[in-house]
Amino acid sequence: MKHPSRPLLIGSAVAVSAVVVAVAVGTGIGAASGAASGSGAASGTASASASAEPAPAPTAVTSFPGLATADSDTPTLASLASAGPQAGTVIQAAGPFDDRFVLQDLAFGESGVTGSVEVTSDVSEVIELEVIAGFYGADGALLGENSFVLHADEEESGHAHTHSGPPEEVHGFTVPVPPSFAGEAVSAAVGVPVLVNE
């Protein structure tokens, strides 16, 4: 009399035996590697339990060789450090978006810098614009910086966008001289580190 379940039972026993052998071999390899590293049988067990802990998660690289880290959240322009404008003048400092705008009506006074930015590269609405000014002493050295920021965020302003027609392409700005060196600044350099269109 043939038993149809016997081959199934034998196959299951063989599969279970293979799993037991694989686990035994894996445990033996772990213990052997612990013993080979100069630790005794007791530390082989500790090594096996330590290896059961999850490995630390990989971390993101946040610094790269040759890339300067920012000291604050405020964008700046490297060209401000060497601009050195003549006393009583305001000049344009080189920046990453110089091919997308024109500075107009720049003026320097004791209280700060005024002017306007005409966006020439796009006909879409400006979402964010930052104008940064470096202020210089009589010796031409950079005293410090200040900025003007335009955010076209309807939710923050609390009212709906009411401008109709083509987008405004000219944006006036005023960048005051910081109080810490008021009276010392005799010139300025202006640039745009942030320019975002729709």
- What is the C-alpha separation between 34 and 41, in angstroms, rounded? 8
Q: Which two tokens stand for residue 163?
A: 């401008």
| pLDDT at position 60 | 56
Q: 162: number of CA atoms within 13 Å, CB side?
A: 3
Query: Mapping DSSP to helix (H, G, I), strand (E, B) and coil, where does residue 103 land?
Result: strand
pTM of the model: 0.58
| pLDDT at position 111 | 93
In terms of Cβ atoms closer than 10 Å to its own Cβ (0-12, 13-18, 19+), residue 28 is exposed
| pLDDT at position 120 | 87
| pLDDT at position 124 | 78
- What is the C-alpha separation between 108 and 90, in angstroms, rounded? 6
The ranges of the chain with pLDDT < 70 are 1-74, 123, 153-168
| pLDDT at position 46 | 44
Q: Tokens 């964010």 — which residue?
A: 128
Mapping DSSP onto H, E and C, the string for 136-189 reads ECCCCCEEEEEEEEEECCHHHHCCCCCCCCCCCCEEEEEEECCHHHCCCCCEEE
Query: Domain 78-197: which topology?
Result: Immunoglobulin-like (2.60.40)
| pLDDT at position 160 | 42
With contact defined as beta carbons under 8 Å apart, do 149 and 129 qualify?
A: yes
| pLDDT at position 110 | 87
| pLDDT at position 25 | 44
| pLDDT at position 198 | 79
With contact defined as beta carbons under 8 Å apart, do 87 and 186 qualify?
A: yes
| pLDDT at position 112 | 95
